[in-house]
Amino acid sequence: MSGLYPQNDDVQRVRDASDIVQVVGEHLTLKPKGREYVGLCPFHDDRNPSMSVVPAKQIFHCFVCGTGGDVLTFVQKYHSMDFREALEFLASRANIELTPFRGRSGGDDDGPRGVGNKEIIAANEMAAGFYRAVLSHPEHGEAARAVIERRGISDEMVERFMIGASPDRWDGLVMFAEKRGVRIEALLGAGLVKDRERGDGQYDALRNRLIFPICDQIGRVIAFGGRKIAEEDEPKYLNSPETAVFKKSTTLFGINHAARAIKRERTAVIVEGYTDVIACHQAGVEHVVGTLGTALTSGHATVLRRLCDTVVLLFDGDAAGIKAADRAIEVLLSETIDIRIAALAGFTDAKDPDELLKREGGAEIFLRVIEQSVDLIKWKFDRLREELKGAGPARVTQRIEEELNRLSELGLGELEPVRRRLMIRQIAQAARVEERVVTEAIRTGRGRRPIGASEGERRVRGEMNWKPDAREQLLGCLLYDAKLWTLMNGEQRELTSLERFNSTLSRSVAEGVHGSAENGTGTGLHAVLAELAQIGEERGEDMLDASQRATTLFQTVARDCEGIEERVTRLFNECIGSLSARDARNRMEAGVVDDSGESEAQKLARFLAGERESRSRTGVGGRPRISGE
Identified binder of Zn ion from the candidate list 37, 43, 274, 485, rule CB under 5 A:
43
From residue 23 to residue 42, the character string flagging contacts with Zn ion as x (rule: CB under 5 A) and all else as - is ------------------x-
Provide the angle, in degrees to the nearest 10, between the axes of the packed helices 117-136 and 172-180.
Answer: 120
Which residue number, 48 or 154, has a Cβ lying nearer to Zn ion? 48
For residue 98, the minimal CB distance to Zn ion (Å) is 30
Helix or strand run (H / E) with residue 613? helix 600-618
Which residue number, 44 or 526, has a Cβ lying nearer to Zn ion? 44
Concatenate the DSSP letters of all residues of 43-61 into one string.
Answer: TTT-SS--EEEETTTTEEE
Helix, strand or coil, per DSSP, at residue 110: strand
Which residue number, 64 or 283, has a Cβ lying nearer to Zn ion? 64
Which residue number, 64 or 222, has a Cβ lying nearer to Zn ion? 64
For residue 490, the minimal CB distance to Zn ion (Å) is 39
Closest C-alpha to 332, from 294, 265, 377:
377
Identified binder of Zn ion from the candidate list 44, 77, 220, 227, rule CB under 5 A:
44
Identified binder of Zn ion from the candidate list 65, 188, 407, 484, rule CB under 5 A:
65
Beta bridge partners of 271: 290
> Applying CB under 5 A, what is the total number of residues that bind Zn ion?
6
What is the rounded CA–CA span in Å between residue 545 and residue 559?
A: 21
Identified binder of Zn ion from the candidate list 11, 14, 23, 62, rule CB under 5 A:
62
What is the rounded CA–CA span in Å between residue 218 and residue 229?
A: 29
What is the 3-state composition of the chain as percent helix, strand, coil, each rounded to the nearest 5?
55, 10, 35
Which residue number, 67 or 523, has a Cβ lying nearer to Zn ion? 67
Binding to Zn ion in span 431-490, by CB under 5 A: none
For residue 43, the minimal CB distance to Zn ion (Å) is 5
Residue at 501: amino acid letter: F
Q: How many C-beta atoms lie closer than 10 Å to residue 375's C-beta?
A: 18
Residue at 596: amino acid letter: S
Judge contact between 203 and 171, C-beta under 8 A.
yes
For residue 463, the minimal CB distance to Zn ion (Å) is 9
Residue 428 touching Zn ion (CB under 5 A):
no
From residue 300 to residue 319, the character string flagging contacts with Zn ion as x (rule: CB under 5 A) and all else as - is --------------------
Which residue number, 44 or 471, has a Cβ lying nearer to Zn ion? 44
Which residue number, 44 or 306, has a Cβ lying nearer to Zn ion? 44
317-338 residues labelled b (16+ CB within 10 A) or e (exposed): ebeebeebbeebbbbbbbbbbb
Largest CA distance in the chain: 93
Which residue number, 84 or 305, has a Cβ lying nearer to Zn ion? 305
Q: Which residues bind Zn ion (CB under 5 A)?
A: 41, 43-44, 62, 64-65
